[in-house]
Structure 1
Amino acid sequence: MSSPLRIHSEGFELNGEPHRIISGSLHYFRVHPRQWADRLNKARLMGLNTVDTYVPWNLHEPRPGEFRMDAELDLPRFLDLAAEQGLHVLLRPGPSICAEWEGSGLPSWLLAEPGINLRTQDPLYLDAVEAYFGFLLPRLLPHLATRGGPVIAVQVENEYGAYARDGAHLAHLTALLGRHGVDVPLFTCDQPADLERGSVNGVLSTANFGSRPTENLAALRAHQAAGPLMCTEFWIGWFDRWGGRHVVRNSAEVAATLDEMLAAGASVNFYMFHGGTNFGFTNGANDKHTYRPTVTSYDYDAPLDEAGDPTEKFTAFRQVIAKYAPVPDEPVPAPARKLSVPDVPLPRSASLLGHRDALGEAVTSAEPLTMEQLGQDFGFVLYEATLPVAGAVLLEAEGVHDRAQVFVDEQPVGVLERESHEHAVAFASPRVGASLSVLVENQGRVNYGPAIHDRKGLVGTVRVNGEVLTGWSNRSLPLRSLDGLPFADTSAPTVGPTFHRGVLTVEEPADTFLSTRGWTKGIAWINGFNLGRYWSRGPQHTLYVPAPVLRPGENDIVLLELHAAPHRRAVHLRDTADLGPTDD
């Protein structure tokens, strides 16, 4: 069957009629699956005819040959829900997706191969890509528009021109999509300056930008003399990094840019329509000479905020879209009810170092093993060795990826941060044979640029007073389950990383925001669901709690505080988000 979406010299045609794509990015893997239908309905109500999603390889194939497409990764169900709303879909399967997502969506186990070259024709990489596409694509074929499904177009790679110039690699991926039966139109996307490097013969080129649409569309037309003009990533907001400010963009200015783009006849995809959340350990990072991890919230100052409520941008964009395309004659949805609980004590505690055996098994080695060598993707690694000296010690680590807390006989003596380019810490060893523990947090693998070869843990040698320290225990702490921890009531101050537990009682579940003000740095769970990271460094000071995570009655809440818990260990739930100060 021929594709319902056709590409002509002047634009798109759908089912024989001229068509303009008005789309918005909505990542199923950043939204609780019981909220997918709500978000898709709101996309339709804003006037979108299409939604766009990446596909995160690292979640769908967490181990080589172990594939998942269920529960929160049930992409076919997400596509069915989009179709129920009458929405088309732009599918962006990567394999690299950037997206401020951990490792650009490339699975960490690829980096267990010492010499692998990602996003190239390296056979080690290509063999893995082909196996993954061999799993993914056959399951999505029934959802292509040529088979009556909602997927009208599929992207080849992602902003490849910003990474490399390798036409053979892009041609290989294009052919691979075809061999697996993808018969809808293909497209690439790049920033205007990278269009030539990231294009493929016979594949539609599209551009990514956030302003100056006339200028940037002209650059696209200069590169591609005929065919539809499309902005695949219209950046209407931005992401945040720890230690920065919450980034926002003026609604009126962005709406005026949208108006200019649509007046030029272009198609558009908002990045993002609804950002969602980097739940768990899934946030990415950037490294342009300095490592900068992305925060847990992916609110993105989008038309739907992190909790899925319409913002000022929703109304502003809806009004502009209505000038160029039909918009449903239905009211803008009101914000959903929010839960507020002023005080939730966390009276029970369990030391991480004191209960290390309940959290992971140790592997011995001469020198520290990376997280990838241990077969681990997310979380922490606890490294332990014996100090061969007493008195003054200078500990030097060749590579800390990304943040190391150093302990002697389980007492904290220092922190090394990759972000601050730190490699050495000095302390006193009480005796020969004292225990050295180094807890290293993977704060997010780099998702953009050549630094994506981002192995985690202690990378390279560790020296004590100039001599290489050998004889290490390496303990993976992915923290997928906390069931083995023996929590106990205590009111005494805690030293070192400690889990704190309490009970949240709820009559009727609703969306809410866990405030972490007063706490220092760590991770939070509710009913075993990992809400993500918190850090007093900000900008964000709340973690979004989706209503489906809660249940009527008692709910289990746990914080892993890596440093210092407040004297009165308690949290509270707010009915509004606190994403931090802005530049406005």
Structure 2
Amino acid sequence: MSLLEIKEGRYVLDGEPFRILSGAIHYFRVVPEYWKDRLQKLKACGFNTVETYIPWNVHEPQEGAFQFEGMADVEQFISLAGQLGLHVIVRPSPYICAEWEFGGLPAWLLQDNSMQLRCSDPVFLAKVDRYYDQLIPKLVPLLSTNGGPIVAVQVENEYGSFGNDTSYLQYLRDGLLSRGVDVLLFTSDGPTDEMLLGGTIEDVHATVNFGSRVAESFGKFREYRDHEPLMVMEYWNGWFDHWMEPHHIREASEVAEVLDEMLETGASVNVYMFHGGTNFGFYNGANHIETYEPTVTSYDYDSPLTEWGDVTGKYEAMRSVLGKHGIEPGCPLPEPMLKYAYGQVTLSEYSPLFGQLDQLSSPVKQPSIQPMEKFGQAYGFILYSTWVKGPRLGQKLHIQEVRDRAQVFLDGQPLGVVERWNPQPLEITVPKEGARLDILVENMGRINYGPLLRDPKGITEGARIDNQFQYDWTIRTLPLEQGSLAQLNYEPVKRSMEPAFYRGYVDVEETCDTFLRFDGWNKGIAWINGFNLGRYWQAGPQRALYVPGPLLRQGRNEIVLFELHGSPDMPAITLTDKPDLGNIAAVDDTFLNFVQDDENV
């Protein structure tokens, strides 16, 4: 048994002074076969602790149905870290942010319009309690007080950036205590008055999140906690990317300089992220400042370890700073993972979406449009279809509150695209005999941060022609979950501009990491052997999707693209040994200061 405590203003572990040197690695963003490699590289850099969030939506994907296997096997990840000699910080709060879909909250919470999120609403708390009754007993045996590696547990995440319901924070704290969590509890917030006032409670250790201005940030923290150790729970050493924006980087020398300044103060630190990983599947989040901004598939974050696990100059710069402070590597550095260029793969078969609807879903008749959550759907696409009476000449079709991107078809022909960030109406002309109207809506990721967190998907208000709302809809949910693609019927590929699935095969002798380039394709989803790699989009910045070697198998491998806007003349992808995260934009100190002061990104 060991216990991390606070005595005389500093951390003490097993009675000895202790500095937390932690790096963030999210088990749910890394294939399990690579957990050991990433953890060893953390230890080899000199860190003694790993930190991870725990996303509720991964572990309770449907209400009352829990998942703790495969990439969701949090117990195995924590146990492995302990076996490698690392301490563990876990952040199981109902909300995690993390640029993760809905900030980790499960989409089924949005079925109840009256439920209030992240507060003392008893309906919400009952959902949290049921989840914690499943999750926390799995963590308790792994606490350091029970011989495990977990030394600290978070109560809630950046709550001061969202609300000020102190009783809610106390309820979560009490829920952890009553379920047997007897290690150090903490909160984490930005270093501002508002955030520290709203996000902290007196009897729980407070930590701060920031990326620069060390003296100023710690100075603000000291105004509230003058006898607690300094801990940067998130030292933002890089940044994440949105579609339609450049790829962000932060100079290694600047990152090292700020880390050195933190350590000079005697502070503990958790580097966010040490290894970012990947937003596989439909799990990317989104932000909304002035407009909606969906996050890309890669969560490279310009971290010390790349998305594919390679050491960077930032890793070496941090290693140098730790060495300056007398901190030695904890183990040898593992070799890089092999990467291989398997070459071009022709996608010679296709399956048009509108011809396969009965294989993918069952129709539901509704008088009015409803968002996907009302049908028990969390992710993917939803199709709204109706018959429009004619004649109508040069009228305007308005999709009222589309979440997030709608493709509109009239009698099977593309009419246009309506996007949340560009919600212009479409001109529509309907012949006297009428026409079929189809609206295919993509959920591009729920907002993960800020006051607009409640983010139902599909069409949330309705579709109207001029001022006339249209009724009598047939609705099909298209979550495109694992296994659903096996129901499709394929035929030899034809040139088409409608949404369709494209399939091809690649033979592999040795399974290595590779990168799927989607040059010539427009927008869609990619699968390898039934595993959802995530979204691709020519809008960039990301130009290639990371394919971890364990997703491949010796022999034949199936590649499927769900392309929304028709194939290129040569329907093929390329598996290359080189990543491509896109054109670069530097994250400078001015940007980080804005984030610190007004953490609404």
Shorter-chain-normalised TM-score: which range?
A: over 0.9
| Offset of residue 342 of structure 1 | 2.4
What are the superposed Cα offsets for residues 43-100 of structure 1, whole Å, 9 maximum, x if unpaired?
Answer: 1101110000000101100111111111110111001110111001110001000000
**What residue identity is the alignment partner of 2:79?**
D
Map of 1:155-554 to 2, 5 A cutoff? 155-193=154-192, 194-328=195-329, 332-392=333-393, 393-420=395-422, 422-480=423-481, 481-490=484-493, 492-554=494-556
Q: Is the 8 A contact 1:407 1:414 kept in 2?
A: yes
Distance 1:331 1:68, change over 3 A: closer
**What residue identity is the alignment partner of 2:585?**
D
Structure 1 length-normalised TM: 0.98
Q: Is the 8 A contact 2:43 2:331 kept in 1?
A: no
Tell me how far apart the structure 1 counterparts of residues 325 and 14 of structure 2 sit (CA, whole Å). Answer: 19
Tell me how far apart the structure 1 counterparts of residues 10 and 324 of structure 2 sit (CA, whole Å). Answer: 19
Q: Is the 8 A contact 2:339 2:512 kept in 1?
A: yes
Q: Is the 8 A contact 2:40 2:334 kept in 1?
A: no
Q: Is the 8 A contact 2:47 2:329 kept in 1?
A: no
| Offset of residue 124 of structure 1 | 1.6
**What residue identity is the alignment partner of 1:388?**
K
* Partner-residue secondary structure (3-state), 1:156: strand
| Offset of residue 196 of structure 1 | 2.0
Q: Mind listing any 5+ residue stretches in structure 2 that lack a counterpart?
A: 587-601
What are the superposed Cα offsets for residues 165-200 of structure 1, whole Å, 9 maximum, x if unpaired?
Answer: 111111111111111111101010000011122101
Q: Is the 8 A contact 1:346 1:570 kept in 2?
A: yes
Aligned to 2:45: 46
Tell me how far apart the structure 1 counterparts of residues 449 and 149 of structure 2 sit (CA, whole Å). Answer: 29
Tell me how far apart the structure 1 counterparts of residues 417 and 270 of structure 2 sit (CA, whole Å). Answer: 42
**What residue identity is the alignment partner of 1:370?**
P
Q: Is the 8 A contact 1:514 1:542 kept in 2?
A: yes
Tell me how far apart the structure 2 counterparts of residues 547 and 299 of structure 1 sit (CA, whole Å). Answer: 17
* Partner-residue secondary structure (3-state), 1:399: strand
* Partner-residue secondary structure (3-state), 1:109: helix
Aligned to 2:100: 101
| Offset of residue 464 of structure 1 | 2.0
Q: Mind listing any 5+ residue stretches in structure 1 that lack a counterpart?
A: none
Distance 1:329 1:140, change over 3 A: closer
| Offset of residue 325 of structure 1 | 4.5
| Offset of residue 331 of structure 1 | 5.0
**What residue identity is the alignment partner of 1:59?**
V
* Partner-residue secondary structure (3-state), 1:322: helix
Map of 1:103-122 to 2, 5 A cutoff? 103-122=102-121
Distance 1:390 1:9, change over 3 A: farther
Tell me how far apart the structure 2 counterparts of residues 166 and 297 of structure 1 sit (CA, whole Å). Answer: 34
Between 213-222 and 256-265, the greater mean CA deviation after superposition: 213-222
Aligned to 2:149: 150
After superposing on structure 2, the runs of 4+ consecutive aligned residues of structure 1 that deviate more than 4 Å are: none
Distance 1:409 1:187, change over 3 A: same
What are the superposed Cα offsets for residues 129-183 of structure 1, whole Å, 9 maximum, x if unpaired?
Answer: 1111111001110000110001000011100000011111111111111111111
Q: Is the 8 A contact 2:404 2:443 kept in 1?
A: yes
**What residue identity is the alignment partner of 2:486?**
D
Aligned to 2:123: 124
Q: What is the root-mean-square deviation in Å for CA atoms of aligned residues?
A: 1.2
Aligned to 2:88: 89
Tell me how far apart the structure 2 counterparts of residues 325 and 227 of structure 1 sit (CA, whole Å). Answer: 24
Q: Is the 8 A contact 1:310 1:333 kept in 2?
A: no
Structure 2 length-normalised TM: 0.95
Q: Is the 8 A contact 1:297 1:540 kept in 2?
A: yes
Aligned to 2:591: none
